[in-house]
Amino acid sequence: QVQLQESGPGLVKPSQTLSLTCTVSGGSISSGGYYWSWIRQHPGKGLEWIGYIYYSGSTYYNPSLKSRVTISVDTSKNQFSLKLSSVTAADTAVYYCARVVAAGKLFDYWGQGTLVTVSS
Amino acid sequence: QSALTQPASVSGSPGQSITISCTGTSSDVGGYNYVSWYQQHPGKAPKLIIYAVANRPSGVSNRFSGSKSGNTASLTISGLQAEDEADYYCSSYTSTYTWVFGGGTKLTVL
Radius of gyration over every alpha carbon of chain B, rounded to an integer in angstroms: 13
Q: How far apart are CA A51 and CA A71, in angstroms?
A: 7
Q: Do B52 and A106 touch (CB under 8 A)?
A: yes
**Mean pLDDT, residues B26-42 taken together:** 97
What are the beta bridge partners of residue B64? B77
Q: What is the pLDDT of residue B2?
A: 79
pLDDT at B77: 98
Answer yes or no: do B101 and A49 touch at CB < 8 A. Answer: yes
The residue among A39, A99, A105 with the most chain B CBs within 10 A of its CB, best to mutate, is: A105
List, in order, residues 6 or more apart from B39 with CB less than 8 Å away: B46, B47, B49, B84, B86, B87, B88
Considering just the CA atoms, what is the radius of gyration of chain A in Å? 13
At residue A104, the pLDDT reads 86
Nearest alpha carbon to residue B102 among B6, B8, B28, B10 = B6
What pLDDT does residue B45 have? 97
Residue B54 has pLDDT above 70, yes or no: yes
Q: B89 CB near a chain A CB, below 8 Å?
A: yes
d(CA B96, CA A62): 9
pLDDT at position A32 is 86
When pLDDT is cut at 50, 70 and 90, the band that residue B1 belongs to is low
Count of H helices and E strands in chain B? 0, 9
Taking CA–CA distances from B94, the nearest residue in chain A reads A105
What is the reported pLDDT for B34?
A: 97
Instruction: State which residues of chain A have pLDDT below 50.
Output: none
Which of B2, B38, B39, B99 best probes binding to A when mutated, by most A CB atoms within 10 angstroms?
B99
C-beta of residue B90 within 8 angstroms of C-beta of residue B36 = yes
Q: How confident is the model at residue B19 (pLDDT cuts 50, 70, 90)?
A: very high
Q: Give A98's contacts (C-beta < 8 A, 6+ positions apart).
A: A4, A36, A37, A38, A39, A107, A108, A109, A110, A111
> Cβ–Cβ of A46/B51 closer than 8 Å?
no
